[in-house]
Amino acid sequence: MKIGNNELRITPSTFDEAIDLKDAVEEAINKGNLNLDLSSIKDVSDGEDGEDKGPLSSVSNETVTSFVKTLLSVDMSKKVRNCLFVCAERAVVGTEKINKDFFEKVGNREYYYEIMFEIMKVNISPFFKGLFSRLLTTDMAGVVKNFLKRK
């Protein structure tokens, strides 16, 4: 991935560093009280005016608000930020290490979210690869339907 004119290279962190980041993100998500009302999502292919609205056009305001609050909870978590900077020690843009000094340069701050999201993705996604493939082989429609019945 290009950051400015240079390539962003990320080496995955140690298991302990990566799982600490995963746990910090999960803790922040939990504090954000994510409440996705899956029952409000319908396939709304055409609106009243015939315009294609897409499947997410029916998502409730409460669900959107909950999602935004959760994103902000992750973003504002000092624990997540500290874990990200530990993992960032293995990342470079060009030859420059990613650390707090990198972002002291005001011109580099525009890349903060892009870089940190990539660091998070490289370090957290391996934990979930097996889980997602496992979920894809189950009857997810049935699982969601049963979950919604319990509410």
Domain ranges of the chain: 2-150
Question: What is the H or E stretch that residue 8 is in?
Answer: strand 6-10
Average model confidence (pLDDT) across the chain = 81
Q: What is the pLDDT of residues 42-94, one digit of tens each?
A: 544 445 555 655 555 556 677 677 667 777 878 888 999 999 999 999 999 99
CB 66: neighbour CB atoms within 10 A? 17
pLDDT at 38 over 80: no
Burial of 13 (0-12, 13-18, 19+ CB in 10 A): buried
Question: Which residues lie across from 2 on neighbouring strands?
Answer: 7
Higher pLDDT among residues 45 and 39, named by residue:
39
Give the DSSP letter of residue 36: -
> Residues 40, 60: contact at Cβ < 8 Å?
yes
> Percent of the chain having pLDDT more than 90?
48
Provide the pLDDT for residue 51.
Answer: 60
